[in-house]
Structures are given as structure tokens and as C-alpha cells.
Amino acid sequence: MALLDILEFPDPRLRTEAKPVTSVDSSIKKLAADMLETMYAAPGIGLAATQVNVHLRVIVVDVSEEGNAPHILINPVITPIGDELEESQEGCLSVPGYYETVQRPERIRVEALDGEGVPFTLECDGLMAVCIQHEVDHLNGKLFVDYISPLKRNRIRKKLEKSHRTATR
């Protein structure tokens, strides 16, 4: 396994729409394992392949307190259950140090392939639902900062651009 580099906003590669995985082979299994290792090391509770500059529809999540309940979702498709929306504070490994309130469907059904390529369906709410929706947004080239005002988003962009310039000196 290997730690992968996580792209940071406003890197334009984060806006790339991911392509479906056509076969769950050894390269996809290695990608998922490396993504889990990277997510835990960051530390985070979710990571999309887009964030590590691999533009395939793969996400990993683990919202357990102990960090011992990993989920691999390949080609995830989300369907909201009901009309209830929930607001929660979100952060992102690609937007380090920033948290904003985002409104999302409270309950979802997700259909995906697991790390072995076996289809499954999961219904969830709470942090798991928020995390999966957040990561699927990444696969679609969307970031949580897209849900906030342009003024706040530009402020975050400028601060991160400045920190990137400072870090590369």
C-alpha cells in the first residue's frame, strides 16, 4: 500500500468528472487500499479517487469512531429517500482547515459495487449519508465550497492559493 497525494482546492483537476469503473481488477483493489491508507493517515472519514488525481468512480468512507469500519463504493449511485433535508458542518481533505454548513438529503439509498465487485445497496442517514454524498460530489467534479456563497468561496480560494505559494518557496 502507498500514501497518495491529495489535490487541494482550487486545483482544476478536482473539477474532472470521474468515469465509471468497467472491471474491479487488481488495479482497482490496490487503488481502494491506497485510498483507505491515505484517508486514515490524513486523517479523514472519506476520500474520492478524484481527490488523488484518479478519475474513476471510486470512493472510500469510514465514519466509525475507531476507524475500523471501512466501506469501498465503486460506481456509487445515490437516490434520496424522502424530502427531508439536513444541515451539517462539512470539511474536506481537499479544502484543509475550512468548515461550512451544507444542506443535503437526510436519508439516502446508495447502490454500488464493493471492493470485490459485488453489487450492494445501502440505506443510510446521519454522518454516513453526508459523507457518501460529499464524496460522490467529488466524482462529479463538485466540492462542498460550491454550496456556499461566491464571496466565502473566493475568500477560501485566495487563502489556500496564498498558502500553496508560501509552501512552495
Residue 63: Cβ within 10 Å count: 17
Q: What is the dihedral of CA 38, 147, 63, 97, to 10 degrees?
A: 50
Q: Is 82 left (phi over 0), alpha (psi -120 to 50) or beta?
A: left
How many CA atoms lie within 13 Å of 44's alpha carbon, on the beta-carbon side?
Answer: 26
* Rounded CA Rg of the chain: 16
Annotated binding residues for Fe cation, written as ranges, equal: 92, 134, 138
Residue 135 is a catalytic residue = yes
Residue 57 near residue 73 (C-beta atoms within 8 A) = no
Q: Which one of the listed residues 8, 90, 106, 135 is annotated catalytic?
A: 135
* Rounded Cα gap, residues 31 and 46, in angstroms: 14
The residues that are catalytic are 135
